[in-house]
Chain A
Amino acid sequence: MTIYDVIIIGSGPAGLTAGIYTSRANLKTLMVAGSKWGGQLMLTEGVENFPGFPEGIQGPELMTSMRKQAEKHGVEIVDEDMVRIEMGDRPYRTNTTNRSYRSRAIIIATGAATQWLNVPGEQELIGRGVSSCAPCDAPFFKGKRVIVVGGGDAAMEEALVLTKFADEVTIVHRRSEFRASQIMQERVKNNSKIKIKWNTEISEIVGKEKIEKVKFKDGTEMEADGVFVAIGHKPASKIFEGKIDLDEKDYIKRQGQKYLTMSNVEGVFVAGDVHDYRYRQAITAAGYGCEAALDVERWLSENGTA
């Protein structure tokens, strides 16, 4: 069986950047990209804050380019889902849906997945009016009334994308102020199609084949055709539970002393949104991927013959 120097789990900006660095350092690198490769940016429209693209770039285009760059430098990529890692003997054994692999080091860059509201009606109506991806689904809401839930940059972007199609966009937010960046807040507040409902939470989404209305916790209701959920993400760390230290919100903890990006398990490193609850940007994820790759390179040169 081939023994890789490093297996990278995940294929967003963190994973792909790590791969570019490890392959350029001549480390034999396998990326387990997941069947839904590319991460959150595959669900994003224009990315305006990634340096190097003065006109902005489409999320999927950016990820396709990063993937090509990683492949060009020799990263072997499989679009399989990681299901189990074994932290016993080294080289570590990891198992995807298809087969098993071995590697001296691991970089976990599995990112984060959509946090849903978990209210009645939501799961049943996904794809029938409930969505987490305005750039994907906005055109279906031409001339309709939609609700966006959330208060961060993602929610602002969803609302702005939707105004190109929908007649009326209402942002529902549980607090009395947004945590989104100033520039995004300004754009939202200056858009006449967007209304804001502060201090409000949805308690139920009502409808059968399509959404009819939503109910709020204060007992009021509102008719709507679409509900776009943008309340954040939760780390994709489930398969590591019990094997690697997670914090109380299930983020993987970086706790290396000598190697800052190392988890509590020797030789297992972490990068991007699966550990970062604070910054969560494409560019910071890429930065963490670079850090983890450099740490792996150094760690392998000191401990790598195992």
Chain B
Amino acid sequence: MAAVHLTKADFDDKIKVGISLVDFWAEWCGPCKMAAPVIDGLADEYAGKVVVAKLDVDAEPEIAQKFGVMSIPTVILFKDGAELARQVGFAGKQGYLDLLKKVIQ
């Protein structure tokens, strides 16, 4: 199962409860292409525990702007809708696991 794609219609709703990891990306971004399979892998590994999602910053510029995302890939960790931490630039699987470790063992 790949990560779900969020839009402004469902963004707030999807991340409202529990832990979410959102990958801000765009088609034209090279490093985002490295991140994509890693994010999809995490979506599988953490299915049922963490909402692993992607947000296309071209399709949804308002959301990118709301979170001050000016560089991609940026992956933001949310808990009950509030930002806890973020990773700017492709960090490899380990980088994203380190983010998740802040909230789950």
Residues of A at under 8 Å CB distance from B?
34-38, 42-44, 58-60, 79, 81, 97, 126-129, 131, 133, 135-137, 139-141, 209-210, 226
Chain B contact-residue range equals 20 to 34
Closest Cβ–Cβ distance, residue A123 to chain B (whole Å) = 11
On whether the beta carbons of B94 and A97 are closer than 8 Å, the reply is yes
Please name 6 pairs of A and B residues whose Cβ atoms are closer than 8 Å in the assembled complex, sorted by A.
A35-B95, A36-B31, A38-B34, A44-B30, A128-B71, A136-B71
Closest Cβ–Cβ distance, residue B3 to chain A (whole Å) = 18
**Residue from B26, B30, B33, B34 with most neighbouring chain A CB atoms (10 Å):** B30
A136-B71, A210-B68 known; A59-B94 Cβ under 8 A:
no
On whether the beta carbons of B26 and A139 are closer than 8 Å, the reply is yes
Residues of B at under 8 Å CB distance from A?
26, 28-31, 33-34, 57-58, 64, 68-72, 74, 86, 88-95
On whether the beta carbons of B69 and A127 are closer than 8 Å, the reply is yes
- The docked-state distance in angstroms from the alpha carbon of A216 to that of B17 is 45
On whether the beta carbons of A43 and B30 are closer than 8 Å, the reply is yes
- Which 8 A/B pairs are nearest by Cβ-Cβ distance? A35-B92, A127-B88, A60-B30, A127-B71, A140-B70, A137-B71, A42-B30, A209-B68
A36-B90, A127-B86 known; A42-B34 Cβ under 8 A:
yes
- The docked-state distance in angstroms from the alpha carbon of A256 to that of B6 is 55
Closest Cβ–Cβ distance, residue A159 to chain B (whole Å) = 17
On whether the beta carbons of A36 and B71 are closer than 8 Å, the reply is no
